[in-house]
Amino acid sequence: MEYRDPNRPARPSPRARQNQRIQQIRQLRTVLLICAIIIAVLAVALTVFAVRSHRMTEADVVQEKAYASLSAAFASEQEERSQEGSSYQAQLDEQSKAHASEKDALEATISDLNRQLSLKQAAATSSPSSGSSGSSGSSSDLSQKTIYLTFDDGPSPRTPEILKILDQYGVKATFFVINGGKYNHYMKDIVNAGHAIALHSYTHSYSTIYASESAYFSDLQKISDVVYEQTGVRTKLIRFPGGSSNTVSRKYSSGIMSRLTKQVESKGYVYFDWNLSSGDADGNRVPAQTLINNCRKVPRSNSVIVLMHDASVKKTTVEALPAIIEYYKKAGCKFAKLTESSPTAHQRVLN
For every residue of 81-94, DSSP letters joined together read HHHHHHHHHHHHHH
According to DSSP, the residues that pair with 148 across neighbouring strands are 305
CA distance 277 to 283: 13
Q: Over the stretch 206-259, which tens digit does the pLDDT of each residue have?
A: 999 999 999 999 999 999 999 999 999 999 999 999 999 999 999 999 999 999
pLDDT tens-digit map of 93-151: 655 555 555 556 565 556 556 555 555 544 443 333 333 333 333 445 789 999 999 99
Which one is predicted more confidently, 82 or 19? Answer: 19
DSSP, collapsed to helix, strand or coil, labels residue 26 as: helix
Residue 231 to residue 195: CA distance in whole angstroms:
12
Q: What is 128-335's CATH number?
A: 3.20.20.370
Angle between helices 213-231 and 256-266 in degrees, nearest 10: 40
Rounded mean pLDDT of 170-197? 98
The letter for the amino acid at 148 is Y
The full set of domain ranges for the chain reads 17-99, 128-335
Q: Is the pTM of this model over 0.85?
A: no
Q: What is the pLDDT of residue 264?
A: 98
Higher pLDDT residue, 27 or 97?
27
Query: Alpha helix locations (H) across 232-344?
Result: 256-266, 288-295, 315-330
Q: pLDDT (tens digit, 9 = 90+) per residue, 246-266?
A: 999 999 999 999 999 999 999
